[in-house]
Chain A
Amino acid sequence: MVKSTSKDAQDLFRSLHSAYSATPTNLKIIDLYVVFSVFTALIQVAYMALVGSFPFNSFLSGVLSCIGTAVLAVCLRIQVNKENKEFKDLAPERAFADFVLCNLVLHLVIINFLG
């Protein structure tokens, strides 16, 4: 039983890996960006767990900047993905322009809240 589950896990991982390699490059870039910003957020949460939440507004601002930009990147990925039937008519340039604008607003907000 154990052997078959480990073999299943390996097969699963291999199939995921091969499926993922088929995705277009720009989506992979977006995925990398999302992973980077979530990772930054996790570092901040770990730091807060260590030293306490003293300037809580700074903590929230830092985490929000990472999570917010990750969410916007995910939205961009949805809108730009050609396999998505819903956004078939939306030009990818328009999606990217929205992404940039929203990020600017996000960064304005977090710099204000940083204190």
Chain B
Amino acid sequence: MMNLSRSVALISLFLLPLLSFSFSVDNPTDRRVLVLLDDVSLKSSHSIFFSTLKSRGFDLDFKLADDSKLALQRYGQYLYDGLIVFAPSTERFGGSLDSKSIADFVDSGRDLILSADTSASDLIRGIALECGVDFDEDSSAMVIDHSSFSVSDGDHTLIAADDLVKSDAILGKTKIEAPVLFRGVAHSLNPTNNLVLKVLSASPSAYSANPSSKLSSPPQLTGSAISLVSVMQARNNARVVISGSLQLFSDRLFRSGVQKAGSPNKYEKSGNEQFATELSKWVFHERGHLKAGSLVHHRVGETDEPAIYRIKDDLEFSVEILEWSGKSWEPYVADDVQVQFYMMSPYVLKTLSTDKKGMFHTSFKVPDVYGVFQFKVEYGKLGYTTLSLSKQIPVRPYRHNEYERFIPTAYPYYGACFTTMAGFFVFSFVYLYHK
């Protein structure tokens, strides 16, 4: 038995590098996702969500959150490329998992879907705090909205939310018509944190309080400051979705119709399935993931990259940007990519024009300043990976023989000198031969 497990371990050690599971830029294919559940029934009560993931090629590995054999890494290699934590009430993970190992998992560039529900344990709150999301401190509080609830609900905790972020990258091109049903806890985001984003916000009439007890003091979290579902895109482009409601992903809410209180529109199907599917596409990099080739620059008329430019040179600049479509690298089309010619501050800032095949190019004149410049492309569009490229290039002044030979303003002086010489010549003749 020991021999068998050891040999299996040895074989997997050799095979692991070959099977290249992680989302490497060159071959992002079938990916393994670990799904942590705190109740086995979640597998069936959220089966539609999991089956949409499976149909897109994900390899889901269901485990209970307190399974003692849980491990994200083995021998320094990560076993999974994505993690879904649907375990809102777990106090401690089993195996080698804890909030630090999950933070390291995200730090390595891998993606995470985390969901709390009507109760959120301190462990889940801690992981969310690492990602910049603050759940309501009151552990019995839920989001209550007396004007934006679903009419099928009794105590106004089933919110029908339609305040979605406007981003085609995160939520897809098709507009989500029906409101999204939500029942769970509120969280807020630090407004100075520019990595987190509210995807589904509560309406201005929402607040976070315990629904079964009377309010003794005004609630802390109110209105649109409450975020129902947030995303975070880390600086290494790992994506995290944090939801305050596990029921949002459940089959029951996927299938249920929705009518918002006070609105005459009745929808046969809530927007939950479309919302969850599109969000999962974004978080697992099937949309909005950009890759840039190297920056190419050269003088107009040449093809090689020079080692140094001279002031007032004409140069051409181009960069290739591709977008991952889920199956292949497609050319990225946008009209807001900019390049800076930067030395302490941008001397030239130009918007790149695209040929729709992924190449972005522009041309400009080197400014009349010499020094060491950088070509910088800093692209941070909402929902897309941040591109931060730079290439250094020095710029020299004119050589002494590159100035214009004759200065037009000085023509009178040239004329005066030659006139004097001619005058001297004529004078000496006249002086010598006069009578």
Contact = CB atoms under 8 A, between A and B. Distances in A.
A69 B420 contact: yes
B423 A29 contact: no
B129 to A, nearest CB: 66
Interface in A6-62: 25-26, 29-30, 33, 36-37, 40-41, 43-44, 47, 51, 54-55, 58-59, 61-62
Contact of B428 (A47, A100, A107): A100
Interface string B378-418: 00000000000000000000000000000101101110110
Dominant secondary structure of chain B at its interface with chain A: helix
B424 A103 contact: yes
Given A29-B434, A55-B410, A58-B410, A66 B424 contact: no
Contacts of A96: 428, 431-432
B430 interface: yes
A75 interface: no
A82 B184 CA distance: 121
Nearest to A72: B424
Dominant secondary structure of chain A at its interface with chain B: helix
Contact of B416 (A25, A44, A107): A44
B423 A36 contact: yes
A72 B42 CA distance: 110
B427 interface: yes
A79 interface: no
A71 interface: no
B256 interface: no
Given A44-B412, A54-B409, A55-B409, A33 B421 contact: no
A47 B431 contact: no
Contacts of B409: 51, 54-55
Contacts of B416: 40-41, 43-44, 62-63, 65-66
Interface of A: 25-26, 29-30, 33, 36-37, 40-41, 43-44, 47, 51, 54-55, 58-59, 61-63, 65-66, 69, 73, 96, 99-100, 103, 107, 110-111, 114-115
Interface of B: 407, 409-410, 412-414, 416-417, 419-421, 423-424, 427-428, 430-432, 434
9 closest residue pairs by CB, A with B:
A62-B413, A58-B410, A62-B416, A58-B413, A55-B410, A65-B420, A33-B427, A65-B417, A55-B407
